[in-house]
Structure 1
């Protein structure tokens, strides 16, 4: 997989500093690129420095923009961190969806989806671990973003099952609670591996994750319903 959680445009940094930071009198209007650069800078800084020690000055220095530009995009460094978490989840889902063909059997493509997910996280485990920990430390806003991120992946899983049901109408739908249990369980496995220093080998989890997800999805098949006396 060639993509990373940060798309290439997000990672590319300008060769010259923001005119505002050079002390010119001409203000540069804020652009989406400024926001992207600041989130990238936050991610880069997190790899080398604990979040509690990071200052806005650190972030703007890495992004090569002014503090004024920062505050045009974010109210605080916490808001920047939360936006980074949201961005990473969106990028991961984009990679997972990239090779998925809705006209093909979902179960046959399960391995691709799982490896895309694990492979992207494996590329920067230290950052992912920091984000997971810091989200919990941000109180209600952090929990809200964590819930929203989990919900995105839950919706992705439910949507794929619904697409498969177009070809197999007898298959049961995947409930929200069951999908949340799958996503939450897989994420805990990943976090445990990262905490144990196995973040560079997350793809080793693929066979077990695939077996777990398949076991859940197999229970939705018509033959499984008959075996358990379900209608």
Structure 2
């Protein structure tokens, strides 16, 4: 995914099907939404701002989305899919539970750092978008906690609850850095979190 302004699709007849054109418009509009909000926030971003960045007509926008919120939710899902893809890649390979966690957590931080627009959308602007977006954010956090349990090979309710706390705490810790656009501060979250997880494993709080 890219946040740069894409070229307009060629006018007239071309080889793309209508479904493919709609998919391309959707991708362009989601990227434009993320880029616009990185500068102006959710409240300060209008449909017109998104159209200008995506170089898509208003008619094409409403052929894909019903509203700004609808476009935001699609962009949010794009951000979630990107994050999952990075974590799935990091999950491949062996190692003990701490090594697997460290690999996945590093991938998480790098995903946020490499896609600042989507990161801000996912972590900051989601709260300005309203209850539907916040509910979806909560669902994603629960999914990440469950994935963390599986990744580390943990079991038991105590471990599952600890993973929920880790995911929630990490979200709270990285959000200020993402909001400020401070990638150094974002990456600096890594070592102390990894050390804390090591202590939790050694103490038996995270049973495996």
Which TM-score bucket, shorter chain as reference? Answer: 0.7 to 0.9
Where in structure 2 are there 5+ consecutive unaligned residues? Answer: none
Distance change in 2, residues 1:127/1:102 (3 Å): closer
Tell me, in whole angstroms, the C-alpha distance in 2 between the residues paired with 1:217 and 1:112. 16
Check conservation: 2:38, 2:116, Cα contact below 8 A: no
Check conservation: 2:94, 2:100, Cα contact below 8 A: no
User: Are positions 1:34 and 2:25 aligned together?
Assistant: yes
Task: Identify the match of residue 70 of structure 2 among 74, 79, 100.
Answer: 79
Tell me, in whole angstroms, the C-alpha distance in 2 between the residues paired with 1:32 and 1:95. 22
3-state SS of 2:92 partner: coil
3-state SS of 2:189 partner: helix
Tell me, in whole angstroms, the C-alpha distance in 1 between the residues paired with 2:38 and 2:3. 15
Partner residue in 2 for 1:108:
99
Check conservation: 1:86, 1:145, Cα contact below 8 A: no
After TM superposition, the structure 1 = structure 2 runs for residues 45-56 of structure 1, keeping only pairs within 5 Å, are: 45-56=36-47
Instruction: Note the C-alpha offset of 1:150.
Output: 0.9
Partner residue in 1 for 2:85:
94
User: In the TM superposition, what whole-angstrom CA distance separates every residue of 1:26-62 from its partner, at most 9, and x where no partner exists?
Assistant: 9x83521211111011111122223223221221221
- Higher radius of gyration, 1 or 2: 1
Where in structure 1 are there 5+ consecutive unaligned residues? Answer: 1-5, 166-170, 223-231
* Number of residue equivalences: 202
Tell me, in whole angstroms, the C-alpha distance in 2 between the residues paired with 1:16 and 1:138. 28
TM-score (norm 2): 0.80
Partner residue in 2 for 1:117:
108
Check conservation: 1:74, 1:80, Cα contact below 8 A: yes
Check conservation: 1:46, 1:127, Cα contact below 8 A: no
Partner residue in 1 for 2:174:
190
Tell me, in whole angstroms, the C-alpha distance in 1 between the residues paired with 2:29 and 2:192. 37
Partner residue in 2 for 1:206:
190
Partner residue in 1 for 2:148:
157
3-state SS of 1:36 partner: helix
